[in-house]
Each structure stands twice: as structure tokens, then as C-alpha cells.
Homo-oligomer: A and B are copies of this chain.
Amino acid sequence: MTSSLSGPIVDTIVRTAIMEDIGWGDITTEILIPEDLQGQGSLLMKADGVLAGIKIAKDVFLNVDTTLTFTILKKDGARVKKGDIISNVRGTVSSILKAERTALNFLQRLSGTATLTSRFIEALTGLQTRVTETRKTTPGLRYLEKYAVRVGGGINHRHHLGDGILIKDNHLVASQRAGLSLTQVIQKARDKAPHTLKIEVEVTTVKDAVIAAEAGADIILLDNMTFEEMRNAVQSVGGRAMLEASGGITLENARQIAETGVDLISVGALTHSAPSLDISLELEYK
């Protein structure tokens, strides 16, 4: 699925970033570059990966100067190689220089997340298990980072605390202190939650996974289980609920976890620790 990266949330993020980087004007450029000098910049890959955020880059350039022409050569989701030119931007050189850094900062970060996601997807080739992110995102950029996960082949978990029920350890402990069993907690959530939301429960034992499934949980999060426990949970739950593995998942162990039969794995590193993908802008005059 390709969600168009547009709308007021994106506008606000882009404008804030431009203001942050340009401040009260690109003094160097204003002093040294003639106002009417025309040129063309090429966005050039300095590493291999999966592209994400090319429309954001375009937004940045056009926000700085609506008269620039930005041509997309590679779309989001494209597998790009070092040396590929992914877009051209033509027009006033001083505008291109003002927008460059902000555009690249978005593009490198989002492509970093898309690339890391795609590597997890590749690690699971041939399996049904899907990959999703967590809420461990960069403050202010969650919307964009979740988009990058989709571009890389992942699916999105809930966006924020208001659009999903995820009963975690702390909720269970507090409820048990009030005398509620796991089953009762799930039923209470079912009763009181909006009918449009699924109920997800975090468990640490196979026994609790089974109880949760029987109580009607839609999704069960298996927290830091061993391969053996996950296999048992898959077998015992028997398709009555979706199973999500979480905790300590790396590119190295992802496939082995997926092979236990869980439906999806959630990986915090997709958003909190993906290294940037190196991209640069090369300028030429004509």
C-alpha cells in the first residue's frame, strides 16, 4: 500500500524543519550566490537501500521556492544502488542550496528506516510472518516513520494510545490488585472499549496466551519468550488470536522467531536505531 505523504500533518512537519535549518536566512548563500543564477541539482545515492520520502524532499524544495522544478526519478519503495540518481531539481541555485540539507535530512532518515525494514522482510522470505514497528519513534516524526516502515514492506501497529487497546504488564498488575483475573480484564476491556478497536494483551507465559485467546483477545503479544515457548503458544492458541512476538528481535534471530509460527514480529529498532542512508546533492550549472 502506498499512502500519499501529504496533508496538514506533513505540511507542519516540513515547515518546522525548514524554519529550524534556515533560521533567519542562509547568509553564506545570500552573500555569495547571485540571486538569478540557475542550475540543476541531482540527488545521488551514496549507498544501497530502499528509498522513502522522495515526496517530502520535493515538498521541502517547493516550500523554499515554488518556482523550482523537482523531477522524481525513483519512487518510494524503489531499491536503489550507490550511484543512482533519484531525482533532479532545477531552478534558482540559491533556493536549491537553502533547501538541500533539510530535504536530505528527511530523505536519509526515512530511507534508513525503510531499508532496515526491508532487510527484516527479506530475512523472512517465504514465511507468512509480518513485520511491524513499535511506539519507540522519534518525537514529532511518528507519522513519517510509520510511513517508511510501510514503504519497506512492514505493516503499522497502532499510531498512538488512543487508537488501540494494548493491555500491558502494568495494566494487568494493577487490575489484579483490584481482584480481576486475566479473563476478567479482557472482558472488561471488551465491554468498555469502542467496538471498532481490537484488544491486544501482553503475556509472558504460554498458559496466559491460551487464557487470553479464550477470553477473546484479538491479538496476543508474546513478550521475550524463548523459541520453544513461542512454538507452544502458536500450537496452543491454534489460530484463535493473532500472535505477535516482541522483545530483543534482531536481523540475526528474526527468521528463527518467525519460524515458530507467530503472525508478526515487532521491532523497535526500525524507528529508534536505524542508521541513515547516505544521499547527497550534486549541483551543476548549465
Give the bracket for the number of chain A residues in contact with chain B: 35 or more
Pick from B19, B101, B166, B273: contact of A9, CB below 8 A.
Answer: B19
Within 8 A of B (CB), among A55-98: 64, 93-94, 97-98
Are B27 and A165 within 8 A (Cβ)?
yes
Residues from chain B with Cβ under 8 Å of A140 in the complex: 13, 16-17, 20, 139-141
Are B162 and A25 within 8 A (Cβ)?
yes
Interface flags, A133-175, vs B, CB<8A=1, else 0: 0011111111100100000000111111111111110110111
Each complex incorporates copies of this chain amounting to: 6
Are B17 and A3 within 8 A (Cβ)?
no
Question: With A and B bound together, what is the CA distance between A231 and B273 in angstroms?
Answer: 35
* A285 and B13 in contact, given A19-B8, A27-B161, A30-B4 (Cβ under 8 angstroms): no
A188 within 8 A of B: yes
Are B162 and A32 within 8 A (Cβ)?
no
Question: With A and B bound together, what is the CA distance between A35 and B132 in angstroms?
Answer: 25
Beyond A21-B161, A97-B171, A163-B196, 7 extra complex contacts between A and B, CB < 8 Å = A20-B139, A27-B165, A28-B171, A32-B189, A104-B136, A159-B163, A196-B198
Question: With A and B bound together, what is the CA distance between A272 and B110 in angstroms?
Answer: 11
Pick from B23, B102, B143, B178: contact of A163, CB below 8 A.
Answer: B23
Residues from chain B with Cβ under 8 Å of A18 in the complex: 7-8
